[in-house]
Structure 1
Amino acid sequence: MIPESLPATLLEQWQKAGYENASLIQKQVFEPLKTRQNVVGVAPTGSGKTVAYLLPSLMQVTPGGGNQLLILTASQELAMQVLETARFWTEKTQLKVQPLIGGANTKRQLEKLKEKPEILIGTAGRVLELMKTKKIKSHQLQTVIFDEADQLLAGQALEIAKGILQHLDRSCQLNFFSATALSVLPEIKTITKDDFTLIDVTKEDNSQGEVAHLYLMTSKRKKADTLKKLLHVADFRSLIFFNEVAELGAVAEKLQYHNLPVATLASDQNKMLRKTALQAFKADKIKGLLTTDVAARGLDLADLPMIVNVEVPMDDASYLHRAGRVGRMGKKGTVITLVAENDLSYLKKMTKKMALPLKKVFLYGGQLVDTRPVINENEKKSQKMPIEKEKPKPKLHTKESIVKKKNKKRHKKQKNIGKRRV
């Protein structure tokens, strides 16, 4: 039971972080991880899973013992966040923490590996690359943690994970954590040969705050305009999710053309651009961070009030993890999905399946309102922009036009003389 079971160095950091009670997942996985069982930990987003697996794992690491603990993540951003968390908890120890992230300078990572860090945190592709060249002492690793396991063990990522597992000693402890880890339970069973302890606190956990799930009707071609209006809503600050990078880029261009405070974070950007965009968002220098599901996993953004789905997410897991960026550790949050008429039934079916109450909202007068506003005729007239009459184009006085004008005057004069004679 933590914090009572923590050594002095970790207890000091626990108090420094201002923690009082451990969350449900932190309590339930502590002893199994400490006693070196293989654990599958399932808990809602924002329930403290990183600290849950980190503290008991750190207690098994010996200073000066070389590579012992490996934490694999599904994205560069999550790796950097776990790195920051690990460095906080090891602040009062002699343990060294080393990032091994794709897109970063490999030469610098190799130099740091020569210092024999006890804790390695990285993206799966870069870790496998270093294992193949024997730069990581794989046989020394005692514990490997798959953070966001369902992403690391699905599709093409599964082959990379299998490559890593081949380099590990048979006695290595294997742990898998995610809010949706049950979706890859067959793969976990194969990897561990059914030797694991499943701890699922999803139904019992009450750490998530109140989250409102809303939808805003708009056509596909007007979604950029709707985002422009949302960015002018008072206190708006949001992760803005897209399903495709191409659509993200097209909308970002339109918003940035109007000098709106947004940035982008996508898989086709280099590490520095992604890092700069995320830092700007965390520092509240921009109001909207346009991204894909690359930012839907594990990121802990303090007091984030809202996330916006520009399109209905591709599946339940995607919606769940995006929504998990708000309402973390008891705080309130809002999820807004921009939906076209033909996608509404799909969104309703998705949220109903996850037992999420869905509500329609309207964007009016720079605010999100619950009911469609009634606008009288006078308001309609006041809202209409005055139509400026097009000024007549100035006539060009060419030599030919001047002669024509003179002849016209002469003809008119002769006509008037004729009338007087009559």
Structure 2
Amino acid sequence: MDRTKLPECWQQRWLEQEFQKPTKIQEAVFEPLLEKKNIMGISPTGSGKTLAYLLPLLLNVEKGAGNQLLVLTSSQELALQVTEVARVWGKDLNLQVQALIGGANVKRQIEKLKDKPEVLVGTPGRILELMKLRKLKSHLLSAVVLDEADQLLQKGSGELVADVVGQLQKDTQLTFFSATADEAVKEIAQLSQQELLTVDVTKEDDSKGIISHFYLRYPSRKKVDALRRMAHLTDFQGLVFFNQLSEMGNAEEKLLYHGLSVASLASDQSKQMRKLALDSFRSGQAVELLTTDVAARGLDIPNLPFVVNADVPLTKESYLHRAGRVGRMGKAGTVITIIQDNQLRDLQRLAKELDIQIQEIFLHGGSLQTEPPIHVSEETERKIRKPSKPTEKIKKTVVGKEKKKPNRKRKSQKDKGKRRK
């Protein structure tokens, strides 16, 4: 990708966005996508994959020719994020972009489709629904992108994606992007009947910032207390991941009870609630955003300093994508996983599989420390409390004198004399 060969309006946009040179994935896929080749693009999280596929594919879109480019995403949040990016760059080419996601009013979406937007971004369920209603002209689509392809092709959504692809023309350009797309090679091969070019720049990519990985030992019953204490740390803002939706809900309730500014992002929330939660976190109003793996894919939260795993991720892919919310485009970040002693081996196994170094961290004295805090042992504490032998003798002597009670003794002798008389 030669930036100087982009349209002049995009060259100006590039400077306004304060981008430097194109990332490895942006360089590697630009020409093949422009030449309408089918591609599987693999690069680390936060390496600019969205622009990597949008820029060349938008250049192939013809203004006023109806629906031509479709981007399928694994979540509503990612769909809206991609829509925003596509609108910024598509506006310079006078292209219309429309989001088509579940949870939004389908009648309004159908009305907007009458304007024949050239670029569509959506989730598989809603896209398939509109195709079956014949409101989305699938035969016009010349290119389809599967963003976070391996997650889209998992059980549940994979069937929907297959049905969507089944509606396309045989010569429709298919592209697949993800940091872990290679985990779904078999599924991708089944969808793509044509020759597929694999572009993997994982080893060459240099866009990622320094990410520090830590684990924090905390009893399970006090996990929320750890989150509460983190929320009070200076300059802390964290995306907090849970494995279970129920645990996330309980934690949010307790943190709100303590008066903390937290929000939650869950799959069972309405579109408005999810947008409100994300907006409050992005603006810095919420110090913690509690979520599940629904927010682990593709979300870009500028300058996010912390990711906290309230539970040990169940798979290495889950850990990788959660951690990918920090360290994006050269920025530094920290990942902290809260564990119990019996979970350390599972976490170390994940770290080995991902080839990352992970060390223990301590939450003490209102700060995070890599050195263990100095605790007085029980034996030392007993010695401090237990008086030395000389002190004991003095104490016994004093107590003994007190027990003699001389006044009473004199009174007793006087009484004795009276009795003798």
- Scaled by the length of structure 1, the TM-score of the pair is 0.88
Asked if 2 retains the 8 angstrom alpha-carbon contact of 1:2 and 1:30, the reply is no
Rounded to whole Å, the distance in 2 between the matches of 1:86 and 1:209 is: 25
Q: By how many angstroms is 1:166 displaced?
A: 1.2
Q: How does 1:64-213 map to 2 (within 5 A)?
A: 64-193=64-193, 195-213=195-213
Rounded to whole Å, the distance in 2 between the matches of 1:188 and 1:232 is: 45
The C-alpha deviation readout for 1:66-121, integer Å capped at 9, x for no partner, is: 00000000001000100110111122222100110110111110110000000000
1:330 equivalent in structure 2: 330
- Scaled by the length of structure 2, the TM-score of the pair is 0.88
Is structure 2 residue 271 aligned with structure 1 residue 289? no
The C-alpha deviation readout for 1:201-240, integer Å capped at 9, x for no partner, is: 0111111010000000011111011111111111110000
Letter of the structure 1 residue corresponding to residue 51 of structure 2: V
Letter of the structure 1 residue corresponding to residue 132 of structure 2: K
SS at match of 1:175: strand
Letter of the structure 1 residue corresponding to residue 371 of structure 2: T
SS at match of 2:5: coil
The C-alpha deviation readout for 1:331-365, integer Å capped at 9, x for no partner, is: 11000000011111000011011110001011101
Asked if 2 retains the 8 angstrom alpha-carbon contact of 1:189 and 1:195, the reply is no
| Count of equivalent residues | 379
Letter of the structure 1 residue corresponding to residue 314 of structure 2: M
Asked if 2 retains the 8 angstrom alpha-carbon contact of 1:10 and 1:90, the reply is no
Displaced runs of 4 or more, over 4 A: none
Unaligned runs of at least 5 residues, structure 1: 382-422
2:34 equivalent in structure 1: 34
2:43 equivalent in structure 1: 43
Letter of the structure 2 residue corresponding to residue 125 of structure 1: G
Letter of the structure 2 residue corresponding to residue 235 of structure 1: D
Q: How does 1:170-319 map to 2 (within 5 A)?
A: 170-193=170-193, 195-319=195-319
Q: How does 1:346-361 map to 2 (within 5 A)?
A: 346-361=346-361
SS at match of 1:90: helix
Letter of the structure 1 residue corresponding to residue 216 of structure 2: L
Rounded to whole Å, the distance in 1 between the matches of 2:344 and 2:361 is: 13
Unaligned runs of at least 5 residues, structure 2: 382-421
Rounded to whole Å, the distance in 2 between the matches of 1:270 and 1:176 is: 28
SS at match of 1:345: helix
Q: By how many angstroms is 1:188 displaced?
A: 1.2
The C-alpha deviation readout for 1:15-57, integer Å capped at 9, x for no partner, is: 2212221000000000110000000000000000000000000
Letter of the structure 2 residue corresponding to residue 171 of structure 1: D
Rounded to whole Å, the distance in 2 between the matches of 1:302 and 1:128 is: 32
Is structure 2 residue 367 aligned with structure 1 residue 367? yes
Asked if 2 retains the 8 angstrom alpha-carbon contact of 1:78 and 1:299, the reply is yes
Asked if 1 retains the 8 angstrom alpha-carbon contact of 2:101 and 2:126, the reply is yes
Letter of the structure 2 residue corresponding to residue 145 of structure 1: V
Rounded to whole Å, the distance in 1 between the matches of 2:339 and 2:2 is: 44
Q: By how many angstroms is 1:4 displaced?
A: 2.3
Letter of the structure 2 residue corresponding to residue 261 of structure 1: S
Letter of the structure 1 residue corresponding to residue 349 of structure 2: K
Q: How does 1:12-23 map to 2 (within 5 A)?
A: 12-23=12-23
Rounded to whole Å, the distance in 1 between the matches of 2:91 and 2:132 is: 31
Rounded to whole Å, the distance in 1 between the matches of 2:270 and 2:21 is: 39
Q: By how many angstroms is 1:376 displaced?
A: 5.1
SS at match of 1:4: helix
- The CA RMSD over aligned residues, in Å, is 1.3
Letter of the structure 2 residue corresponding to residue 71 of structure 1: V
